[in-house]
Copies of this chain bind each other. A is one copy, B any other.
Amino acid sequence: MIETLRISHVAIRVTDLEKARYFYVDLLGFIETEKDGDYVYLRGTDEGQHHSLVLKKADSPGLSYIGFRVRRAEELDKAKEELARLSLKYTKIKEKGVEDAILFETPEGMPFLIYYDMEYVGDVRMKFYTHKGVSPVRLAHVNYMVKDVEREAKFLKEVLGYYETEWFLGKDNKTRDVIWFTRRGDSHEVAIARSERKTPGFHHETYYVHELRDVVKAADILASAGLWDSIERGPGRHGVTEGYYIYLRDFDKNRIEFFTEDYVVLDPDKWKPIVWRNEQIRYRSDFWGRPIPESWLNEWVPVEDISTGKLKGWSI
């Protein structure tokens, strides 16, 4: 097992960097660390690290990769061994601010990056007079789609050291359709959901905000800017995870969630994963029973092949 520390960042593809910056920085309030060529590096107010959200100029939307931080430099070597043992393809890469990283594919084909050391630029958490938009605080979790949920879950647990906090059962009340995982002890850092497609997809990344008012502000801001197409789902309260949420789509249809008031796992060894049965469908995803839009259920973006940097598309 690799000693993962936590989820660290997400690199997504946007077709127009300036429009994306307007959405993420000007409207939503992400902190811009720097722009460098085809990349814009963003972070939340409480993140001292160089970036937690990377916008990469590309010809179509999608996910480049999800980044995790490991607890020690040595874990990178351990990772190579584990990946080789599991015949998972990997490659060494650099990122702006990260000299040493490994990019690999999970058993279900998701592009993951792990690293130990990223440049620190300092947080702006108490520079309140500079905060704007919804003041995204920190990357909280990612949610992605795979065909074999159980195979991916085994990897997350046995190789990356995550544990399960909750899951949804499918119509048969046996199959697991969605599973939530944590390592740090928040309600979750990763969730994976079952998809019929052979290739994985990226559903959304989520930033923690300080309170309900900030979640709602996202809707007020986008609606007043005329961007109704960007307000996809919520504001609502999740049954699973307890968090207040809102889901947005950027100009490329990449999805981002803002989220707050989830729980903390106080005693990981005592935690009994919460099993949501199919008959609880009315309130497990939305605690209040609000309907879920079709787009949220059926749309997600493709992910890059780590060898080519090209999107895998949907090889159904």
The answer to whether A270 has its CB under 8 Å from any CB of chain B is yes
Stretch of A98-106, A170-178, A199-207, A258-266 that contacts chain B: A258-266
The answer to whether A185 has its CB under 8 Å from any CB of chain B is yes
Of all chain B residues, the one with the shortest Cβ separation from A124 is B224
A138, B264: Cα distance in complex, Å? 9
A266 touches B6 (CB 8 A): yes
Write out the residue numbers on chain B whose beta carbons fall within 8 Å of the beta carbon of A264.
Answer: 46, 138
A5, B130: Cα distance in complex, Å? 36
Chain A 192-226 against B: per-residue CB contact (8 Å), 1 yes, 0 no?
00000000000000000011110011011111110
Known: A48-B266, A126-B239, A211-B211. 5 other contacts (CB 8 A): A125-B263, A212-B213, A223-B237, A223-B283, A223-B287
Q: Show the binding face of A for B, using Cβ within 8 Å.
A: 5-6, 27, 46-49, 69, 71, 120, 123, 125-130, 132, 138, 184-185, 210-213, 216-217, 219-225, 228, 231, 235, 237, 239, 242, 244, 261, 263-264, 266-267, 269-270, 282-283, 287-291, 293
